[in-house]
Amino acid sequence: MKQSQLFTKTQKFAPKDEQAKNAQLLIRAGYVHKEMAGVYSFLPLGWRVMGKIMNIIREEMNAIGGQEMQMSALQDPTVWKQTRWDSADVDVWFKTALQSGSEVGLGFTHEEPLTRIAKNYVSSYRDLPFYPYQLQNKFRNEVRAKSGIMRGREFIMKDLYSFSQSQEQHDAFYELSQKAYKAVFDRLGIGEQTFMTFASGGSFAKYSHEFQTICDAGEDVIYIDDEQGIAINQEVYNDEVLADLGCDRTKMREVKAAEVGNIFSLGTKFSDALDLTFTNESGVQEKVIMGSYGIGPGRAMGVITELLGDEKGLVWPEEVAPFRVHLIDLQQSEKAQEIYTALIEKGIDVLWDDRDARPGEKFADSDLIGIPWRVVVSQKSLDAGGVEVKRRTEDDVEVMSKEEFFAQLT
């Protein structure tokens, strides 16, 4: 894509009321637009990043048997009134009145409506297990929305739900999902800083598991045993849990963290409430055992920004960057067109800065936008018979031929 055709532009300053580093950088670089507190629009650059994050999640969920679907955001109160429509435990509902006088809700999660859908397709043990998921906008009436895209009132969430015949079948998928989540965060470039963290399991299991990324901007506190690779959320950090997990309090370190995903068992809570049953091999009716598995793509994007961004701007891992190469043309030369065309033909995403702007402005914008590879066509590089190549994460610039650079990308 030619940068002259990109309708967004970089900004020198973020809105004065925006305190979060992730939002400041993403707004300045032209990735998101702040609509109001906790609500952001994703602009073309930002949506490309979100698309790549969601595709990574999609690929890993499909690999463990997930089936993608899309459910409605508008929620019928009828099904929710059987569980928690008016529950004091749910204080994040956005509800609105229809012209008829009845109410609908905006979905903040989807256990109830999906369980109701499942009743149409589950009757026998042969129908289980199955693992539907979606990547969909959720709405939560958060009291605090001061962490940029890491905590929003409208946000995209991947929510997968497991439907199993038995606890053993559920546990097998639960363990499989842990490995899939690790693969997701490794591919997003934050795997080394992300820990599967023991948290409260509620009334369904002794523990649930959160995926917490060490991050100063995070809202949670976790304790990590580095020797064992075990992390515990502050909410369940006590002597009983430490003993249960074989951890020594003197070896635990306290850090701030941001929750980027979670997995937890639901037992038969929703199949009990909505009467989701199946007939087992002996002809006996049983309740379906469920689990819930969430990842916040937007929150992950915010955490990547918080962790990897520097004083110059954004720094994207290659798998999620909006473009892989930022081609900076200082000469308006045929060489730049040649490289651009060759990259496109090789299927490599490239943003070509073809603007009539000063070199300093182009370099500053390139650092702010944060694309992994910067390739500069200048008189100096042309005289040397190549192009200037620099990685966003490095300071050194190397002049190399087009062929040598392309070899770096394979």
CB-based contact 264:109 (threshold 8 Å): no
CB-based contact 89:153 (threshold 8 Å): no
The per-residue pLDDT string of the chain (410 residues; one tens digit each, 9 = 90 and over) reads 999 999 999 999 888 888 899 999 999 999 999 999 899 999 999 999 999 999 999 999 999 999 999 999 999 999 999 999 988 778 889 999 999 999 999 999 999 999 999 999 999 999 999 999 999 999 999 887 778 999 899 999 999 999 999 999 999 999 999 999 999 999 999 999 999 999 998 767 889 999 999 999 999 999 999 999 999 999 999 999 999 999 999 999 999 999 999 999 999 999 999 999 999 999 999 999 999 999 999 999 999 999 999 999 999 999 999 999 999 999 887 889 999 999 999 999 999 999 999 999 999 999 999 999 999 999 888 888 889 999 999 999 999 998 999 998 87
Distance CA 354, CA 4 (A): 6
**In this structure, which amino acid lies at residue 48?**
R
For residue 154, report the phi and psi dihedrals to the nearest 5 degrees.
-130, 130
Q: HSE on the CB side for 55, CA within 13 Å?
A: 10
pLDDT at 284: 98
pLDDT at 333: 79
For the range 223-227, what are the long-range contacts, defined as Cβ-Cβ under 8 Å and sequence gap of 24 or more?
223/252, 223/253, 223/254, 223/255, 224/195, 224/252, 224/253, 224/255, 225/251, 225/252, 226/251, 226/253, 227/251
Predicted structure pTM score:
0.96
Distance CA 186, CA 183 (A): 5
318: its two tokens: 């290659």
Distance CA 159, CA 294 (A): 5
Distance CA 111, CA 90 (A): 14
C-alpha gyration radius of the chain: 24
pLDDT at 144: 76
Distance CA 26, CA 369 (A): 8
27: its two tokens: 């707004």
pLDDT at 145: 76
CB-based contact 375:387 (threshold 8 Å): yes
pLDDT at 202: 77
Helix (H) or strand (E) holding 381: helix 379-383
Q: How many CB atoms lie within 10 A of CB 292?
A: 20
Q: Tell which residue, 311, 328, 332, 403, has the closest CA to residue 371.
A: 328
pLDDT at 363: 97
Q: Measured between alpha carbons, how far is residue 68 from residues 28, 121, 277 in Å? A: 34, 16, 23
**In this structure, which amino acid lies at residue 59?**
E
Name every residue whose Cβ is closer than 8 Å to that of residue 200 and which is 6 or more positions away in sequence: 207, 208, 233, 235, 236
CB-based contact 333:325 (threshold 8 Å): no
